Amino acid sequence: MEHGDTNNDVHVTVQSSSPPPLPPLEKQELQQLAEPLPKSFQEDEQDEELRKLLTPDVRDLPLVPPSAVETNFVSYFAPDFIKEGHDQYVYRHANGLCVIGLAATHIAFKDGGGVTAVDFNVGKSDRSSFKVTGKRKKNAQFFEPNSALCKVYTKDASYIVRCSVKGSLLEVNDRLIKQPELLNTVPHREGYIAIVMPKAADWLKDLRHLRCSRILRAEKMENDFISETRSSQIPHED
What CATH code is carried by the domain that includes residue 94? Answer: 2.40.50.100
Bridge partner list, 168:
142, 197
Residue 238 lies in a domain: no
Does residue 85 fall inside a structural domain?
A: yes
Per-residue pLDDT of the chain (238 residues; tens, 9 = 90+): 555 555 555 555 555 556 666 555 565 665 665 566 566 656 667 777 777 777 767 676 666 666 666 677 899 999 999 999 999 999 999 999 999 999 999 999 998 889 999 999 997 788 888 777 666 666 678 999 999 999 999 999 999 999 999 999 999 999 999 999 999 999 999 999 999 999 999 999 999 889 886 665 555 565 565 666 666 666 655 5
- Domain-embedded: residue 26: no
Residue 161: beta bridge partners? 150
With respect to residue 58, please indicate whether it lies within any of the assigned structural domains. no
Alpha carbon 67 to its chain's center: 10
37 within a domain of the structure (yes/no): no
Q: Is residue 72 part of a domain?
A: no
Give the Å distances, CA to CA, from 84 to 21, 33, 88, 130: 90, 74, 11, 29
150: domain range? Answer: 77-214
Surface-to-core class of residue 225, CB atoms within 10 Å of its CB (0-12 exposed, 13-18 middle, 19+ buried): exposed
Number of structural domains (the chain) is 1
**For the whole prediction, is pTM greater than 0.75?**
no
* 52 domain-assigned: no
Asked if residue 153 lies in contact with residue 119, where contact means CB atoms within 8 angstroms, the answer is yes
In a domain, 30, yes or no: no
